[in-house]
Amino acid sequence: MNLAALTLHEASDKLLRREISSRELTEAVFERIAATDKSIRAYLTLARDAAMEQAGHADRRLGQNDAVTPLLGVPIAVKDNFLTRGLRTTCASKILGDFVPPYDATAVAKLRAAGAVIIGKTNLDEFAMGSSAENSAFFSTRNPWNPERIPGGSSGGSAAAVAADQCIAALGTDTGGSIRQPAACCGVVGLKPTYGRVSRYGVIAFASSMDQVGPLTKDVRDASLLLQAIAGHDPADSTSTDRPVPHYSTALTRDVKRLRIGRAREFFVDGMQQEVKSAVNDAILTLKNNGATIADIVLPHTEFAVAVYYIVATAEASSNLARYDGMRFGHRSDAKDLTETYRISRDEGFGAEVKRRIMLGTYVLSAGYYDAYYLKAQRVRTLIKRDFEEAFEHCDVIVTPTAPTTAFKIGEKTQNPLQMYLSDIYTISANLAGLPAISLPCGFDGQGMPIGLQIIGKPFDEETLLGVAHAYEQSMDWHKQKPKL
């Protein structure tokens, strides 16, 4: 039995029946990492000793039937922008270097409380700024389906680790598509919950009004289990909503009969890879054949989403990253005075893409340009949100491609930032509107690269989102196909 290839729910069932131990499962995952990570490079930091200790503790709890949860004893990877107590957290940036946090992010603390085994920290685009995992200050992660191609970003390390069976499931963050787009590139499931559903406390901030924590998993059922564990109100996060958390796995029993599936023409435009368009249209037809009704909708302000995002997100990044000044933590250069310390520390510590976004964000917030750019972008953001509100009067979920193309070659777009930014053209709108959205596999292109199907739901209606995704998944077997490593 290949233990590392188990889904979360399969692993949990075997652990609960005592067919395997957490130590055996965790050891199998580390063996898989040792065998494959030289070509994939999904991890920045591994925590083998601590993980085996956690696995031993989980086995004792399982043996005593003590507070058993679906995550108890299951090896989970965590994106390296989550604070992890006693475990290095770099955000893939030299400016944080060997920073070791004194406390856990709330999502990580909830994983630990559920008995999950934290096996390591995955690579990402520096400060979660990117769509390809090429902006890491340390190395690029590669796609398990083809190591010459990108795994998506910014949660590329987490997506690649899940696809390569280097963990059972993983956590990522999504600011403009950074869970869903790498999920599509790597052929796994990626869920961005509604803004406020999962605490952001202890997650290194990029754009605070859009950042959201979510799972990357091998199938939809696993996504529901991991979301169940991390969702809920957190007094430490003022944007965390005080709403009851549904039992998400029960939503998977729903069918799609009488559900209305929205198809927006704005998401099926010229420039999309033809194989992506065909696969998504086939998926919509599958949902229709399962009893859903297809409704044509319009989202007229979608064309402005990329421009709005890269004004609002960079403005928030400029503010959030001001705290990295070489004085309190992280990299600090030798300089003759305070001003030089700030300047040189930031110059040496930040990579090119982070500097680009800080400069752009500072510009749009500056006197004389605030009204012309930032304020106008916020107004258009409101219009985008209203488009979705009107669309959801005619449908229950909206189905779109996750990305306009499959994973492109490493280095193909690094010299053209604008082309790189368009990788998120279909995912950004959900972040601007604070909506839940999920990506799951819906086919492969002629080069054998996975294609992602995105489903967008109403605010705090992750249940319907998961139900539709699960119904489609059960009609197909795309999620069962694995890369050959």
pLDDT tens profile 241-299 = 999 999 999 989 888 998 999 999 999 887 899 999 999 999 999 999 999 999 999 99
Half-sphere exposure of 190 (CA within 13 A, CB side): 40
**In the block, residue with structure tokens 């107590």:** 85
Q: Give the whole-number percent of the chain exceeding pLDDT 70.
A: 100
pLDDT bin (cut points 50, 70, 90) of residue 418 is confident
Mean pLDDT of the chain: 96
CA distance 9 to 7: 6
Partners of 444 in the β-ladder: 450
State yes or no: pLDDT of 142 exceeds 80. Answer: yes
Strands in 450-457's sheet, in edge-to-edge order, are: 43-46, 117-122, 75-79, 169-174, 212-217, 189-192, 437-444, 450-457, 397-401, 260-264, 293-297
Residues 6+ apart with CB under 8 A from 154: 124, 125, 128, 129, 130, 131, 133, 135, 173, 175, 178, 182
Lowest-confidence pick of 14-23, 363-372, 439-448: 363-372
* Residue 319 known to be catalytic: no
Alpha carbons 153 and 190: distance in angstroms, whole number: 12
Tokens of 413: 């777009």
Q: Which two tokens stand for residue 438?
A: 């999920």
The answer to whether residue 336 scores a pLDDT higher than 90 is: no
Residue pair 77/108 in contact by the 8 Å Cβ criterion:
no
**Mean of pLDDT values over 86-104:** 95
* Catalytic residue of the set 12, 21, 22, 79: 79
79 is catalytic: yes
Sign of the Cα pseudo-torsion (339, 344, 346, 352, in order): positive
pLDDT band at 172 (very low <50, low <70, confident <90, very high): very high
Encoded amino acid at 331, one letter = H
Ramachandran bin of 73, using left for φ above 0, alpha for ψ from -120 to 50, beta for the remaining angles: left
- Write down the catalytic residue from 21, 93, 140, 178: 178
Predicted model pTM:
0.97
Nearest to 212 by CA among 229, 225, 198: 198
Could you say which DSSP state residue 265 is in?
A: G
Amino acid at 326: G
- pLDDT category, 368, cuts 50, 70, 90? confident
Cβ atoms within 10 Å of 478's Cβ, excluding its own: 19
User: Are the CB atoms for 129 and 358 separated by under 8 Å?
Assistant: no
Residues 229, 269: Cα–Cα separation, whole Å: 38
Give the position of tokens 């950042």: 211
Amino acid found at 251: A
Of the residues 154, 158, 199, 439, only one is catalytic, namely 154
Distances (CA, A) of 137 to 40, 349, 460: 16, 9, 35
Question: What's the pLDDT band for 184 if we cut at 50, 70, 90?
Answer: very high
